[in-house]
Amino acid sequence: MKEKLSTAEPIALRKNGDLVLEIDGKEEVIAHYDRRTGDLEYATTAFSKAHARGCAFAIGTINKGKTVSGLVIKTVGVKGEARDDLSKAPPMPKKDPHLGDQTDAVVKWYFAWSPKEAIRRYQVYLDADGNMVRRNVRRKWVEFIDDRADGLYGLEDKNEGKGIQIGKGKFEKSAVAEMKSFEFLDNQIIARRATCMTFHPNEVVGGFDASDDSDEQAAVALQEQEVEGDS
């Protein structure tokens, strides 16, 4: 009997590894997943841009997304396109369980050893020549200070009773404070996902318009909310 596509999972993983999607009333194979090697190969670049998240969901879960399948996506490519050569790459660093593929060491590994995958995974903006878009950026850092252990009055005892300075002319006396600071960096990679090596358009000094000189359809990456093993 023919398998039916669930409305909860519009992309279905077949037993032969094909990932199918109903398009204009017809089922179309948009990618193929190799259960033995963990390789995911899209049929076209357009499919890789539009359906990365859906494919990760179809591969990584079963029972309409309620259960983790245990299947892992190890490599990603597009049919007919050259792949990154990982023959000399060291093992990928261990992912932080909370950060997934946004773990600093993992991000650096991708950009050093698998730049094509890094572009796709972190949704890097590309210019008309296919180069990564770079801009001067400003990143905000937030530090939480917890002085509840100091006693009832917390931060009131600091800085001659003023508390701690959290900004120009601003002081905080409560036991738990939030301190903000900014770091300015030149010539950084702009992407839809912010990491230790990529910066969101909102962080670009002077603003950023994707339509100026970059490909608005830059390769789609898997989001950090994706199932473990592909994030």
**Is 116 domain-assigned?**
no
Cα separation, 73 vs 101, whole angstroms:
12
Q: What is the pLDDT of residue 174?
A: 61
Amino acid letter at 198?
T
Q: What letter would DSSP give residue 50?
A: H
Count of domains for the chain: 1
Higher per-residue pLDDT: 221 or 70: 70
**Is 77 domain-assigned?**
yes
Residue-wise pLDDT for 84-131, tens only, equals: 888 899 999 999 989 999 999 999 999 999 998 898 888 899 888 889
Residue percentage of the chain with pLDDT more than 90: 44
**Is 72 domain-assigned?**
yes
CB atoms under 10 Å from CB of 47, counted, come to 21
Average pLDDT over residues 132-156: 73
Domain carrying residue 65: 9-83
**Is 115 domain-assigned?**
no
Lowest-confidence segment of 33-37, 105-109, 142-146, 197-201 by average pLDDT:
142-146
